[in-house]
Structure 1
Amino acid sequence: MTSNIILFVAAYLLGSIPSGVWIGRIFFHKDIRKYGSGNTGTTNTFRVLGQKAGISVFVIDLLKGTLATCLPYIFGSSINPLWFGLAAILGHTFPIFASFKGGKAVATSGGLLLGYNPAFFFFSLALYLIILYITSTVSLTSMLSAIIITLSTLILPYIAPGILPAHDWLLTLIALGLTIFICLRHKENVGRIKSGTESTIGFGRKKKKQARVK
């Protein structure tokens, strides 16, 4: 019992590592929370600090979710690894090391999938990149991907058992909860998407169309 509590605390603390804040302060002498959207995650890091910093933050945020999910495998706990990944996501979103103001949970949620089911993670990553190519909008892609990934937990056991061999109802419930949470965290983005003022990235079909128009 005590060892499991320690592992849950460790998972939360792993998730609480505010990579965007620390990288901004150490290498750029900037507090990323004072620039752009004020978010500490990957997207705002790309916009404020550049590509190298953005990639670094993405990798760290992904891997801290993966490592947290793998804790019960490493230390022999019988508790479902998904709960530890969820603790890391909670830490990422409400980090004790950054005044409980964190990211929007997308990369760390991906890390949970990587630690729990690598095949399903790479399926989800491919899905994310396809939607990003179509929309050129990170926020919209994150929300749409979360919705489709949740539906995929129900469909894939029938059409692609090599990815999900059986229905995993805990995975579905957690995916559904994270989808709702991610959409709520993107509430301001939804408003900008509706008004046509949401930022886009220099990748995808939409950007190619804009370049041809110019």
Structure 2
Amino acid sequence: MIILCAVLGYLVGSVPFGLVITRAFGLGDLRQIGSGNIGATNVLRTGSKPAALLTLICDIGKGAFAVVVARWLIGDLAALAAGGGAFIGHCYPLYLGFKGGKGVATFLGTTLALTWPVGLLVCATWLVTAALTRISSLSALVAAAMAPIWALFLGLPWAALTMGVMAVFIFLRHHANISRLRAGTEPKIGKKP
């Protein structure tokens, strides 16, 4: 049942909401816009704030949905598996040839649903970093790195382990951003790459 929850979470996470929403809004193929990423930050580069907000909500929602349903049906271990599956599904979606997003919003939804205090601390970390730097990728990296630390601080070792693994994937998915951060060429929030 745990494996089944992970697989079902993966299938839910694989739904490319950014791509679906931009097409529904008549904004074209998101993979041909800006960075080509299917997440909310790139949707914002289309100039449509409503489409970006809807994408953010849906990408957060699919991680939270997977966790909540698995926990309700089976329990906490299943919730961890389903949340991890949803996160991997967003990063490597079955429906797009395993070429997906960077996982930040789905990571946030999973974290909020697994343990909302950690989720709120992750949100606060992102917001503070974004307010100080105006760089979305750096904010995501700092928030992801802090998530397992927050979980450990609150005495949640299993959540910390799950969040730590997801954080590693977020860093891997942001390799190009990290290179631009080092070079000082990473774009500010709302600007084209």
Calculate the TM-score normalised by the size of structure 2. 0.91
CA–CA distance in 1 between the matches of 2:64 and 2:145? 21
Q: Pairwise mapping of residues 1-214 of structure 1 onto structure 2 (< 5 A)?
A: 1=1, 4-77=2-75, 79-154=77-152, 156=153, 164=154, 167-201=155-189
Shift in Å, 1:178: 1.7
* Equivalent residue, structure 2, for 1:212: none
Compared CA separation, residues 85 and 123, structure 1 to 2 (3 A): same
Question: How many angstroms does 1:168 deviate by?
Answer: 2.1
What is the alpha-carbon distance in structure 1 between the residues aligned to residue 15 and residue 113 of structure 2? 18
SS of 1:28's equivalent in the other structure is: coil
Determine which structure has greater relative contact order: mean sequence separation of CA pairs < 8 Å that are 6+ residues apart, divided by chain length: 2
Contact 1:12 1:87 in 2 (8 A): yes
SS in 1 for 2:185: coil
**Bigger Rg, which one:** 1
User: What is the distance in 2 between the residues matched to 1:10 and 1:49?
Assistant: 33
1:136–1:201 contact (8 Å) kept in structure 2: yes
Cα displacement string for residues 145-195 of structure 1 (whole angstroms, at most 9, x for unaligned residues):
1112222222x3xxxxxxx3xx22222222222222111111111121122
Alignment-mate amino acid for residue 200 of structure 1: K
Q: Partner of 1:160 in structure 2?
A: none
Q: Contact between 2:93 and 2:99, CA under 8 Å: does it hold in 1?
A: yes
Superposed CA RMSD in Å reads 1.9
CA contact (8 A) 2:15 2:95 kept: yes
- Structure 1 distance, partners of 2:82, 2:47, is 30
Cα distance in 1, alignment partners of residues 46 and 114 from structure 2: 32
Instruction: For structure 1, list consecutive stretches of 5 or more residues without a partner in the other structure.
Output: 157-163, 203-214
| Aligned-partner residue type, residue 104 of structure 1 | K
Aligned positions, number: 191
Q: Unpaired runs of 5+ in structure 2?
A: none
Matched residue SS, 2:189: coil
- Percent of aligned positions with the same letter in both sequences? 34
